[in-house]
Amino acid sequence: MNLVVSAIGQGLLWALLGLGLYLTFRILDFCDMTVEGTFPLGAATAVTAITNGVSPLLATLLAVVAGMIAGLITGLLYTKGKIPSLLAGILTMTAIYSVNLRIMGKSNISLLGQPTLFNGALRDLPQYFDSVTLGFIVVVIITILMVLFLDTDYGQAFIATGDNPTMAKSLGIHTDKMVIVGLMISNGMVGLCGALIAQNNGYADINMGIGTIVIALASIIIGEVAFGELTLNQRLVAVTLGSIIYRIILLAVLQLGFSANDLNLISSIVLAICMMIPQFEQRLNIKKPILKGVRPHE
């Protein structure tokens, strides 16, 4: 039972990564590789700040700011420097590796004996329930803020930029500005995820960002495959549920005797299978039920 609770807690915390990438990958139609650098950047910033006497809450907020700066750089490279989106993200990600080493001063830092968001007010909760509680609170707040943002005129302009940039420009929308803002919000959330995961794990490591984009994509794809046609707001919830399902799948695979060293391989296989499921359904002519009142691709 403890393992299942742990998987749910990890799923909730990692859901922030999926929600952040969803903004760029699905809404903006922007393939952002920056997340593989932003995640450890958030972790490095938070852990270094905590070990230097900064409160865990302020350290976490600093991680969000650091992530937003990384997103800003990628956005400027893409919009002003006219560098392709994939390459812009890779350039920023590569540069962040050196930045993380500068921030931490070494390849990893432990939080042993240091205060964190998990050993404060949540320290009296049963084992693993601290990550479930904090993860649930943060995910709910972030999801509500995303729903409110996307429902504003600015948010609709943001969506229009991803749907059809040419049409958006003809309507007077500053698409470059939308892309930059989207990348900043997205990477700020990824930085937040990195800070929370580092505090939950008790350390930050220079290589902890490897494979994070696969984890984020798995949350998105599993949520979409598992729940079918949904409204935009429902898809945000589906990403969180997809993250939890993904963690439970990993737990089940590890229980079968696989090594933790195989997690990246397993993650890639799970993501590949989930991405091929729609093709299998199409070939077998399997139709998913559509929720009442929901139009496909709404």
228 in a domain, yes or no? no
Which is nearest to 13 in space by CA: 126, 117, 139, 115?
A: 139
Domain assignment present for residue 136? The answer is yes
pTM: predicted TM-score of the whole model, two decimal places = 0.89
Q: Is residue 108 a contact partner of residue 206, using CB atoms and an 8 Å limit?
A: yes
3-state DSSP of the chain: CHHHHHHHHHHHHHHHHHHHHHHHHHHCCCCCCCHHHHHHHHHHHHHHHHHCCCCHHHHHHHHHHHHHHHHHHHHHHHHCCCCCHHHHHHHHHHHHHHHHHHHHCCCEEECCCCCCCCCCCCCCCCCCHHHHHHHHHHHHHHHHHHHHHHCCHHHHHHHHHHHCHHHHHHCCCCHHHHHHHHHHHHHHHHHHHHHHHHHHHCEEECCCCCCHHHHHHHHHHHHHHHHCCCCHHHHHHHHHHHHHHHHHHHHHHHHCCCCHHHHHHHHHHHHHHHHHHHHHHHHCCCCCCCCCCCCCCC
Q: pLDDT 10s digit of each residue in the chain, 298 long?
A: 678 898 999 999 999 999 999 999 889 989 899 999 999 999 999 999 999 999 999 999 999 999 999 999 999 999 999 999 999 999 999 999 999 999 999 989 999 989 999 887 777 788 888 899 999 999 999 999 999 999 999 899 999 999 999 999 998 999 999 999 999 999 999 999 999 999 999 999 999 988 888 889 889 999 888 887 888 889 999 999 999 999 998 888 888 877 777 777 887 888 888 778 777 767 776 555 544 444 444 4
- 296 lies in some domain: no
- Distance, CA of 182 to CA of 180 (rounded, Å): 5
Strand partners of residue 203: 110
Alpha-carbon distance 97 to 209, whole Å?
10
- Domain assignment present for residue 230? The answer is no
Q: What's the confidence (pLDDT) of residue 67?
A: 96
Q: Which residue type is seen at 55?
A: S
> Residue 124 falls within a domain, yes or no?
yes
Query: Residue 82: inside a domain, yes or no?
Result: yes
Q: Report the distance separating Cα 39 and Cα 195, nearest Å.
A: 8
Alpha-carbon distance values, 120 to 53, 115, 117, 141, 257 (Å): 15, 7, 6, 20, 35
98 Cβ contact partners less than 8 Å away, ≥ 6 residues apart: none
**Does 164 map to a domain?**
yes
pLDDT score, position 119: 85
Per-residue pLDDT, 20: 94
Q: Do the Cβ atoms of 200 and 135 come closer than 8 Å? A: no
The burial class, CB within 10 Å (0-12 / 13-18 / 19+), for 45 is buried
Return the pLDDT at 87: 94
> Domain span at residue 69?
2-209
* Residue closest to 42 by CA, chosen among 3, 85, 114, 99: 99
Question: Within a domain: residue 137?
Answer: yes
**Structural domains counted in the chain:** 1
